[in-house]
Structure formats: C-alpha cells, structure tokens
Amino acid sequence: MPGRGNLLWTGFGVLALVFLLSPLALVVFFSFAENQNATFPAGGATLHWYGVLFDDPDFWKALGNSAIVTLTVGLVSMVVGTAAAMTLARTRPALANALIGVITLPIMLPPLVLALALATGYSSLGLPLGLGTVIPSHVVFTQPFVILVVHAQMASFNMAVVDSARDLGAGPWTIFRTVILPIIRPTLIGATLMAMAVSLDDFIITYFTIGGGMTLPTMIWGMLRKALDPSINALGALVLVATVGTSLIALRLTRYRG
Amino acid sequence: MSGPLLRLDTISKTYRDVTAVHPLDLEVGRGDFLALLGPSGCGKTTLLRMIGGFLPPTTGRVEIEGRDVTALGPEKRNTNMVFQGYGLFPHMTVAQNIGYGPKIAGRDPEQIDLDVVRMLNLVHLNAVADRLPAALSGGQQQRVALARALVMRPAILLLDEPLAALDLKLRKAMQDELKALHKAIGGTFIFVTHDQGEAIDLANRIVIMEAGRIVQQGTPEDVYRRPASRFVASFVGDANMLPARRVGAEVAIGGGRLPAPGVDGDVLVVIRPDDVTLDATCPIGLDGTLAECRFMGPYQRLTVTLADGTQVIVHRPSGADAAPLPGVGDAVRLGLPPAACSVVAP
Amino acid sequence: MGLTPAFAVFGVFFALPMAYLLVVTFWRIRRYRLTPDFTFANYQNVYGDYLHALVFTIVIAFVIACITTLLAFAIAYLIRFRSGLFGQVILLSALATLFGGYLVKIYAWKAMLGAQGSVNLLLITLGLIDQPIEWLLYSPTAVILTLVHFMLPFALLPILAGLRGISEAPLEAARDLGAGPWRITKDIVLPQCRTSLFAAFTLSFLIPAGDYVTPRLVGGTETFMVGNFIENLFIGRMNAPMGAALAFSTLLACALVLLFVNWLLKRVFTPKWGH
C-alpha cells in the first residue's frame, strides 16, 4: 500500500519542484545561450549578453542606485524592526499580535495601491522624487519582515536568560549587548538580508516613487517594453542570483522555515 | 547583626483581578534553608520573585539585612537566583557564565579568574569549564546555574524549582549536593518546590502555601507530625483522616480522648499510616477488618475497613523480623498512639 | 518606546498616504489639477464604467487564490507528512525564490508560453500536440499560471506553519479509530489549519487582484484587469480621484469576497454532528 501512494506523492513533488524552479532556471540558462530569441535550440554557450550588459552605462547607474537603496533599507529596517520586535516581545500577546497585524498591512495589500498612495502623497507635498523618497517607501514594507522574524525568535527566547543577567547586576543596555544580541545575531542578520532581498527585488513601489532614476528592476521593466533585448536574461539572472543568494544565506542564518 | 536576614511585611501581589499572594509576613533567619512548598498556582513562585526583585509587590515591604529593598530591582539586590530551566547563557562557556556577574560588578579580572576556579571546584565542573551549556548534562547545567549565582556571594540564594527538570536518580544526587553546598558555604537558601519529599529532605524550615496564603510553617517534623489543617495533612505525606466530634475541648475516639482546644463541632483526627499500630494495648483502639494487604518493598500497606466504612491505611515495616500478619478478612484492632494524632478542622 | 520608529514609518508612509488617497476619491480633477470636493461621482463612475473589469478581476483573482491555496496545501502536506529530505528540498526552493524576481518570473513565463516557448516545445516533443498552442500566451490562462507560480511560495508558508502546529496524537488517535488518510485530512487536519488556509487564500487573492504588471506583460488585450485601469487612470489620464476610487472599490470588493470565504471555510470545517 505505501509503495503506490509514495510514488504518486513523489511524482507530485517532482512536478511541483519543476513548476517552481524551471522558469527561473530557464532565464539563467538562456543568459548563457547564443540564441538571441531565448528559444530552443539554444545554440552554443556565450558570455556575450553579460558583455553587452556590462557595457551599458545604464546598468552601472541602476546597480549603484539599487545598492544604495538596498543597503540603506536593510540597515534602517534592521534597527527599526528590531527595536519594535524587542518591545513587542515584552507586550502581552494579544496586544502584540494586534500591533503586528497592523504593521504588516503594507505587505498584505497589492503594492500598486500603496505605490499610488505614496506617489499621490509625495506629489501633493511637492516632494522631489528620487532615492530619498524610494528608501522610506521601501522601509514601510520591509520592516514587517524583520519584525515578524525577530519577534518569532523572541517568542521562543528563554526569558530566564534575561532574568539571570538582571539578577547578576546587568542593566537593560548591557543585557541587550551581552546576552540578547549575541543569541539573536544570526536571526537579526538573516532578517535584515530578507528585508534587503525584498527591497532589491521591488519594482512597483520603486517605479512610482523614484521619478526619473533607475534601479535594476525598473531597468528590467524598461528593457521589457523596448524591442527584444537578449541581455535582459543576463540582467534577470543577476537579479535572481542576488535575491536568491541573499535569501539562502538568510535562511541558513535564521533557520527560518516558515 | 541581630534581627532576621529577610523580613517580608504585609507583602502581596495582585494582577488585575487575580490575587496571587495575599498580604503575608515572613521572616527568614541567617543560615536557614527554607522551602516554600505548595501545589502549582499557590503563589510560591510569585513570592520568590518578589523576594528576588523580579516582581514589584502590590503592597508591603521587603527588607534584607535590615534595609528596605522593596523598590530595588534584582540587579541591585544582594540576592541571586537559580532559575527554573536554569537560564544559562547559551553563547557563553561554563566559565564565562560563572564569570559574567563578577564582570558586570567590575571585579578585578584576576580576582574573577580566581573566583571562577573556586566555584568550578565547589561544584566539580573543572573538567567542562570551556564547554557551552548545550554540551552539558542536566545535572551539570544545574550546577553551573548554582555556581553562577553563588559566585556573587548573595546574602540569600533563591532557587525556583531547582530540581524539577532532573530525572529521579539525578534529583536525589543533586539533593545531597545542595545540602552539602549549603553546609559548606553556610549561606541562606530559599527554594520553591511542589515536592513535599524534597522539602522535607532539604529544608530546616518549611513554609506551606495554599491559594496565595501561608497555611503553616515550621520544621519538617512539625508540619509532618502536627499538620495545622486538612490541606497540609493531605499535601505533606499520606494521612488517615478520621471524622470525629469535639465536645468541651476534647475529642473522643476509639475509647480514648484527645485534648483539642476549640469550639465544639465536627473535626478530623489525622494520623500518619506509619504511626498506626496493630498494638491492642494502645489507649485508643479502633476495630475493623483487614481488607487488603500490599507489599510495597520496604513496607507493607494494609487497608483496614472500620465498622462505619472508613478506610484506614497502615504502613508496617516488611523486614524479616516483622510480626506475622492477620489474614485478609480477619478482624483487627488498630492502635492510635495519642501523641501521633492531630485534630484539624474538616 | 521601541515601537515608536516603526509606527512612525508606518504612520507617515502607509497610514497617512492611504488616508489621503481615500480622501482623494471624493475629490475631482479640474483643469488638470486635483481639486478638493465632496462628490460620489467617482464611485458612480466605478459602478458605471468599471464594474465589468472589477468583476472580471475578482473572478480571475478568485481562481488564482483557489488554485494557489489547493496546490500550496498539497505541497505543504507532502512536506509535513510524506517525505523527509525531498520535502525539505521543495521547501528550501520555495523559500529561496520567495523574495526573488517578481519581474523576472513574469518575464520568464512570457518567454516560456510563447509559440516558440519551451512549454509548447515540450508538448510537441512529448507528442501531445502537433501545432504550438497560440492562446497560451496573452490570455487569462497565462495570467493565472504566472500569478499562481508567483504566489505559491507565499501561500505555502502559512499553511505549512499551520500543519506543523498539528500534533501527532490526534492524528494517531484518528487512525486508531479507523480513519483513512483522506478522512484524517478532512476531519482532523483541514479544520485545524483553517486560519492558515485563510491566510494563504487572502494573500494569494489580494496581491493578484491588484496586480497590473502580469496582465500587462502576459495577459494580452483581452485580459485587462482593474490594476491596468487604475494605473492608466493615474499615469495615462492623470485622473487620481477616479483611479483612487477604483482602487478602494477593488479593496472593498476583495474584503467582501474574503469575508464570504472565511464564513464558508468556517461552515465547511466545523464538525456538525453530535449536537
């Protein structure tokens, strides 16, 4: 009896895996393929499309902007999100869950709505659009990830450890620095990397709040709207490697499995 | 110094509409090994955490060495705690765990090293000084927690269910070790437990709590031999409770009389199973039939049904020289030594 | 205290702009300028001109959410109850691609579903079809396929968390009482992870309902969703009040659907016998 059922489940699992991964694998595959239509037969292997991409000054501009946004957003989300998660860990659970429900609203709603709300708001205030408007617009939907992950870790945190440190004479800041931080550091870094991956990959909110500038995703969008540009596979592959790589490190550090 | 080391004055703790500890007074002397004993939810851990400064009391004051410390947090009190589950710092080695408190206190680094080594010797952990807590056995973790608290030379060492996480065999061993430790350093220990055997074995004074109140305190023998209430009698050890009536400060039972000051009315006569004899010459005697006899290892457990249906449990040593037993169904006469009987409210 | 910065960011960059956008739905455009007013005209226009698009969008999003939730449940079930290492590989793949490549994923499907794309190539190679299927790309099917793929990892997480929260003892008890795998799933597993199923459904319903990039890139001319209209109203026609009214109408319609789904799940998964 188990043999047949297991076979069916294994088949389903393989299909699920293929469904999840093959679109991404094909993008990476065609970024190294000679066929400029990105269809089979793929032709020989080449680094040509990466060469084309690296010769494009726009790419370096977009990369620079993405780096600035991603790093700043990661840092701010980490500090702001951790401070919030620490306080939430000491709040009674019902209230804490309600507050988390509120602060995670920005990731529940379609990004288009938030993007238009922000764009409308900025324009009526007369704020010049640019990286300065992109960064806080990202933090509002990256900080929930840090709060969720760090708060989940704090929920399983052995509070007797904090009591012990207090009992041995440590003040709040010393306790955070010498006891809590060393224990949660991997989670903290992992959560920050998650926030960075989300920020790096964001297109919709960036598109509406950046004005004339460009990040890697908005550059992809530009290439998608122009005539077929095969180096889009190279750019897509780079963005994928960056976000998936960041996520993998984050998963390893946080041991977050859902 | 004269006066008690710790004095609790009308201290209480109320959460919203639940009172965890009703206003109570308690004094603990220097060198005491005091057990706070009671079932879960009786307020004993709340009381311990108020002594340690982790919970601010709703009313009352806490004095340690004659000083009012009510408003001080745990970091400013001369008490240290061994937590339930130990609360060891998982990212620090055993030696670092023990040295943490002295380091925070700003002690001289060389002195810290000496203190840590002294503590490692005291709790026999020199061999694992550089390991992380996760690599230790439960008993070893327990000893690290003890050393980490004791290195602070606390006026009072507080222990929250210190042995609850250990298995039975280890618990017995740690019991001996705790006792030896208390003797060796001559400190004052207060520990919370729900295990009456543990309290009787370790403590020189037991405070029994029920529903946020102290219901009895005294030496282990006091609370075992002379329970003040039905609750204490049933919580500490096995007890037979025989319904009787008090008339004129006396209780008549089994042809004898027990002096029992108090108002007239229904009472219970409490006697431990190991105090009941099969000695027919006892001044108080009860007739019944032997209903069951079970071999329990070191003793035999007899169940005797009295004429009114009450069952009395009797423990008799089961050694080779024990007297021969009557058979099941035979009539027996139980002897109740008056000195072993106490009278409590029903 | 530690919450202040987070809620300041939330207030300034979410709550205020959203509130402002809500206010704007009652304003109008005069001579290309946003003019304060108090009119329901925008909402009336939604009802008049965009109801069709709204219903179409809700239906598509509903289909996507149903497929995604079912698929995510099956995968989560596989990970939790069926296979050890293999399940971990699937989970890791889902998590790793969770935050990666929104645009790249859509673009990848666009390439795969075309007449020359790998899906048609695969079907021809397998001998299932002779001619490439033209309607794969630029159709509602393409939008559904792409968004199911995008939402699947997001839906997987809450359901898996729900399944992990179910302890073994009741499952073994059900087996002991003679229930087969299907009965156990229906009577014990599903009711216990109802809230996580709903969370997964909510996410995979709301995000597609407001998406405009996917229909734009793979939906073709016949798959215009509300997001496209909203974007067009804001950017193309500079009519923010109308776009905002359409956006909030969509959110309201979604909320109603979600309330209904929640009620339905509650009804279906509450044991009825025995009272």
Assess whether C150 and C108 both reside in one domain.
yes
In this structure, are residues C225 and C53 in contact, taking their beta carbons and an 8 Å threshold?
Answer: yes
Using DSSP's 3-state secondary structure scheme, residue B274 falls into coil
CB pair distance less than 8 Å for C10 and A243: no
> Mutating which of C7, C13, C58 best tests the A interface, going by the most A Cβ atoms within 10 A?
C13
Does the pLDDT value for residue B95 go beyond 50? yes
In chain A, residues with a C-beta closer than 8 Å to the C-beta of C152 are 19-20
Assess whether C16 and C86 both reside in one domain.
no
Nearest CA in chain C to A38: C111
Give the residue with greater pLDDT, B329 vs C253.
C253
Chains near B (3 or more Cβ pairs under 8 Å): A
Strand partners, B206: B35, B218
Q: Which two tokens stand for residue A75?
A: 């840092």
Instruction: Scan residues 35-64 of C and list those with Cβ closer than 8 Å to A.
Output: none
Assess whether C5 and C71 both reside in one domain.
no
Counting CB pairs under 8 A, whether chains A and B reach 3 or more, is yes
In chain B, residues with a C-beta closer than 8 Å to the C-beta of A169 are 75-76, 101, 104-105, 152
Query: CA A95 from chain center: how many Å?
Result: 27
Assess whether C225 and C265 both reside in one domain.
yes
A34-48, B57-71, B236-250: the lowest-pLDDT one: A34-48
Q: What is the pLDDT of residue A1?
A: 36
Assess whether C54 and C35 both reside in one domain.
no
**Residues in CB range of C205: below 8 A, 6 or more apart:** C61, C62, C64, C65, C254, C257, C258, C261
Give A47-74 pLDDT, tens digit per residue.
888 888 898 898 999 999 999 999 999 9
CB pair distance less than 8 Å for A166 and B85: no
Q: What's the one-letter identity of residue B132?
A: L
Residues in chain C: 275
Q: What is the pLDDT of residue A100?
A: 93
Counting CB pairs under 8 A, whether chains C and B reach 3 or more, is no
Nearest CA in chain A to B102: A168
Q: What is the pLDDT of residue B166?
A: 83
CB pair distance less than 8 Å for A37 and C116: yes
Query: Is C13 within a domain?
Result: yes
- Stated as kind and residue range, the H or E segment containing B253 is strand B250-253
Chains near A (3 or more Cβ pairs under 8 Å): B, C
Q: What is the mean pLDDT of chain B?
A: 88
Kindly give the parts of chain A with pLDDT less than 50. 1-2
What are the backbone dihedrals phi and psi of residue B251, each rounded to the nearest 5 degrees, phi first? -120, 125
Domain B6-225: give its CATH superfamily: P-loop containing nucleotide triphosphate hydrolases (3.40.50.300)
In this structure, are residues A103 and A83 in contact, taking their beta carbons and an 8 Å threshold?
Answer: no
Does the pLDDT value for residue C63 go beyond 60? yes
Does the pLDDT value for residue C246 go beyond 80? yes
Nearest CA in chain B to A160: B87
Query: Is C70 within a domain?
Result: yes
Give B265-287 pLDDT, tens digit per residue.
888 899 999 888 887 788 888 88
Instruction: Scan residues 120-179 of C and list those with Cβ closer than 8 Å to A.
Output: 121, 149, 152-153, 156-158, 160-161, 164
Q: What is the pLDDT of residue A229?
A: 74
Query: Is C80 within a domain?
Result: yes
Assess whether C173 and C117 both reside in one domain.
yes
Assess whether C91 and C182 both reside in one domain.
yes
Give C74-93 pLDDT, tens digit per residue.
999 888 887 667 788 888 88
A93 touches chain B (CB under 8 A): no
CA distance C37 to C29: 9
- Full-model pTM: 0.80
Does the pLDDT value for residue C192 go beyond 60? yes
Helix-strand-coil split of chain B, %, nearest 5: 30, 35, 35
Query: CA B209 from chain center: how many Å?
Result: 10
Nearest CA in chain C to A223: C107
CB pair distance less than 8 Å for C99 and A21: no
- CA proximity to C229, closest of C106, C105, C49: C49
Fold of domain B238-344: OB fold (Dihydrolipoamide Acetyltransferase, E2P) (2.40.50)
> Mutating which of C1, C78, C91, C99 best tests the A interface, going by the most A Cβ atoms within 10 A?
C99
CB pair distance less than 8 Å for A163 and B74: yes
CB pair distance less than 8 Å for B85 and A160: yes
Q: What is the pLDDT of residue C83?
A: 65
Per the structure, the complete domain to which residue C188 belongs is given by 50-269
A98-107, B207-216, C130-139, C180-189: the lowest-pLDDT one: C180-189
Assess whether C152 and C115 both reside in one domain.
yes
B67-68 and B59-64 as β-strands: parallel, antiparallel, unpaired?
antiparallel
Nearest CA in chain B to A164: B87
Does the pLDDT value for residue C237 go beyond 70? yes
Nearest CA in chain A to C25: A117
Query: Is C44 within a domain?
Result: no
In chain B, residues with a C-beta closer than 8 Å to the C-beta of A164 are 81, 83, 87-89, 148
CB pair distance less than 8 Å for C210 and A256: no
Query: Is C255 within a domain?
Result: yes
In this structure, are residues A79 and A142 in contact, taking their beta carbons and an 8 Å threshold?
Answer: no
Percentage of chain C beyond pLDDT 90 is 34
Q: What is the pLDDT of residue A194?
A: 86
Assess whether C32 and C61 both reside in one domain.
no
Chain C: nearest CA to A167, how far in angstroms?
A: 23
Helices marked H in chain C — which ranges? 3-10, 16-24, 41-45, 51-77, 85-96, 102-113, 118-125, 140-164, 168-176, 181-184, 190-192, 194-209, 213-214, 226-231, 240-269
- CA proximity to B216, closest of B101, B344, B92: B344
Q: Which residue has the tokens 């695969």?
A: C122
Does the pLDDT value for residue B26 go beyond 70? yes
Average pLDDT of the residues in B312-328: 77
Q: What is the pLDDT of residue B24?
A: 94
**Residue B322: which pLDDT band, with cuts at 50, 70 and 90?**
low
In this structure, are residues C83 and A10 in contact, taking their beta carbons and an 8 Å threshold?
Answer: yes
Strand partners, A42: none
Give A153-196 pLDDT, tens digit per residue.
888 788 889 999 999 999 888 999 999 998 888 888 888 988 99
CB pair distance less than 8 Å for A26 and C93: no
**Residues in CB range of C169: below 8 A, 6 or more apart:** none
Give this complex's ipTM. Answer: 0.87
Does the pLDDT value for residue B142 go beyond 50? yes
Chain A: nearest CA to B211, how far in angstroms?
A: 24
Sign of CA dihedral A9, A12, A18, A21: negative
Q: What is the pLDDT of residue C56?
A: 93
Assess whether C75 and C182 both reside in one domain.
yes
Domains of chain A are: 56-254 (1.10.3720.10)
Query: Is C253 within a domain?
Result: yes
What are the backbone dihedrals phi and psi of residue A215, each rounded to the nearest 5 degrees, phi first? -120, 180
Query: Is C274 within a domain?
Result: no
Average pLDDT of the residues in C216-242: 85
Total of domains in chain C: 2
CB pair distance less than 8 Å for A217 and C103: yes
Query: Is C275 within a domain?
Result: no
A183 touches chain B (CB under 8 A): yes
Nearest CA in chain A to C251: A109
